[in-house]
């Protein structure tokens, strides 16, 4: 499984948060796009990245 495959397994919001960050958006813009509080964007990115790494590590 590569990163793109793992991204598809994440909840939509987490996958979108990582894509938007990779596209260079600021946390406030990411929050606005995803409908979550700007203050929650940083934790969403941390959790999304952690879940992604777990999926990649667990794939055979």
Partner 1 sequence: MDSVTLVGRAEELRFVERALRGTRAGVVVMGAGGVGKTRLARELTESPASARPGTSVWVSGTRSAGGVPFGAFAHLLPALDAPPRDRLAMGMLARRAVLQAASDAGLLVVDDAHLLDDASAVLVQQLAMTHALRLVVTVRSGERAPDAIVALWKDGWLECVDLQPLDRVALGELVAELVNGRVDPLAVARIWEQTRGNALFCHELLRASVAAGRLALDGDVWRWRGGLPATGRIWDLIDARLSELDPEDRAALEVVAVADRADTLLLDGLVDRSARSRLARRGLVEERAENGRSVLALSHPLFGEVLRSQMLDARRIQVCGRLADAADAHGMATGPELLRAAGWRLECGDGGDPELLLAAARRALAGFDPQLAERFARAALATGGGFQAELELATALGAQGEVQAAGELFTRLERDTGLDAQRSAVAAQWSEMMFLNGGRAADAADLVSRVASELVPGRLQDELAVLEGVWRWLSGGTTRVSETEWRRIAGRGERMDLLVAFAVAPMRVQSGQIGEALALLDGAAQAGANRREALPTVELTLRSTRAYALWSAGRLNDDVTYCERELAAATAAGELEPTAMFAFCLGGALTDAGRIDAAIGSLRDGLAVFERLAMPMYVSWSLAFLARALALSGDRGGARKALERAQHARPAQVQLIDPELGIARVWVLVAEGDMEGARTSALGLADRHAEAGWPIEAARALHAVARLGRPEGIADRLSELATTTDAPILPLCATHARGLADDDASSLRAAGEGFAALGCWLLAAEAFTAAAVTLRAGGRAASARAAGARAAALLARCEGARTPTLTGVEAGASLTRRERDVALLAAHGTPNREIAQRLMVSVRTVESHLAQTYRKLGVSDRRELADLLATGATRAPDQAAPA
Cα–Cα distances in Å, from 51 out to 31, 45, 54? 19, 10, 5
- DSSP label at residue 24: T
- Residue matched to tokens 């929050």: 31
Rule CB under 8 A: say whether 45 interacts with partner 1.
no
Binding to partner 1 by residue 25, rule CB under 8 A? Answer: no
One of 3, 9, 28, 56 touching partner 1 (CB under 8 A): 9
Regarding 13 and contact with partner 1 (CB under 8 A), the answer is yes
* Residue 45: closest CA among 13, 23, 1, 9: 13
Contacts with partner 1 by CB under 8 A lie at 1, 5, 8-11, 13-14, 35-37, 39-40, 43-44, 46-47, 50-51, 54-55, 60
């Amino acid at each position: 499984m590569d990163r793109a495959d793992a991204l598809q397994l994440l909840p939509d919001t987490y996958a979108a948060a990582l894509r938007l960050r990779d596209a260079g958006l600021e946390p406030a813009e990411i929050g606005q796009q995803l409908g979550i509080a700007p203050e929650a964007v940083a934790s969403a990115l941390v959790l999304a990245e952690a879940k992604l790494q777990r999926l990649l590590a667990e794939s055979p």
